Amino acid sequence: QVQLVESGGGLMQAGGSLRLSCAASGPSFSRYTMAWFRQAPGKGREFVARITGYGGSMGYADSVKGRFSISRDNAKKTMYLQMNTLKHEDTAVYYCAAYMGYATDDEGEYDYWGQGTQVTVSS
- Output the furthest CA–CA distance in the chain (Å, rounded): 41
Strands 45-51 and 18-25: unpaired
Kindly give the confidence (pLDDT) of every residue in the chain, 123 residues in length, as a single tens digit, with 9 standing for 90 and above: 899 999 999 999 999 999 999 999 988 999 999 999 999 999 999 999 999 998 789 999 999 999 999 999 999 999 999 999 999 999 999 999 999 988 889 999 999 999 999 999 998
The residues near 76 (Cβ < 8 Å, ≥ 6 apart) are 23
For position 38, what pLDDT does the model report? 98
Of the candidates 61, 53, 51, 37, which has an alpha carbon nearest to the alpha carbon of residue 100? 53
